[in-house]
């Protein structure tokens, strides 16, 4: 990528030796993504600590046995509780099975994830990038990515779909890598999910 793109070459060289690393449990990672939707990172961390004290965040049955009242006491809204239960049902009933994911194409897996109430395409894409480390995910609707491309390549913001697709084509088959470096160009602290 560095040989083909001088802008990326400069950014990559600034973060030499750093890589994206998967962490955590798939169910817990998705559960945490739901908890953190549309709230600040600080608020999400605080709520997550309370949730961890209330339930086993690695066992889907735990959320299904926990009342809405207890979850509300943790700071979880009724809607997020419904989303968390939908995720738990999908794992419990093996509609989402991590063992099958390695054999699934990116779009097929995104479709399976968005079948969970409360998980949209963006959340699914972040999961594929940060948890599964899929190399060619291009979250074209991500505002941070659009902003980084605009700043680094001197393009108009917000981006047109046509412009975003041109970058997707340019970076294929390493869109996840290019995206991560674009995010890094905005914030030297690594993006984690």
The catalytic site residues sit at: 142
Residues across the chain: 193
Q: Which two tokens stand for residue 70?
A: 């207890």
Query: Which backbone phi and psi does 177 adopt, to 5 degrees?
Result: -65, -50
103 preceded by a cis bond (ω within 30 of 0): no
**Half-sphere exposure for 148 (CA within 13 Å, toward CB):** 22
Q: Are 182 and 11 in contact (CB under 8 A)?
A: yes
Pseudo-torsion of CA 63, 65, 70, 76, nearest 10°?
30
Q: How far apart are CA 159 and CA 147, in angstroms?
A: 8
Q: Which two tokens stand for residue 163?
A: 């412009």
């Amino acid at each position: 990528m560095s040989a083909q793109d001088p802008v990326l070459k400069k950014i990559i060289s600034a973060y030499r030796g750093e890589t994206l690393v998967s962490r955590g449990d798939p169910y817990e990672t998705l559960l945490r993504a739901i908890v953190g939707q549309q709230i600040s990172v600080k608020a999400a961390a605080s709520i997550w600590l309370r949730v961890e004290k209330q339930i086993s965040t690695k066992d889907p049955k735990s959320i299904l046995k926990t009342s809405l009242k207890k979850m509300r006491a943790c700071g979880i809204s009724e809607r997020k509780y419904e989303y968390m239960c939908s995720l738990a049902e999908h794992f419990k009933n093996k509609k989402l099975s991590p063992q099958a994911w390695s054999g699934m194409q990116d779009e097929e897996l995104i479709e399976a994830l968005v079948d969970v109430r409360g998980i949209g395409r963006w959340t699914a894409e972040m999961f594929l990038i940060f948890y599964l480390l899929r190399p060619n995910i291009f979250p074209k609707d991500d505002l941070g990515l659009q902003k980084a491309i605009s700043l680094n390549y001197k393009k108009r913001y917000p981006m047109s779909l046509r412009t975003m697709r041109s970058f997707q084509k340019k970076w294929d088959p390493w869109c996840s890598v290019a995206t991560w470096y674009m995010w890094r160009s905005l914030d030297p602290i690594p993006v984690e999910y």
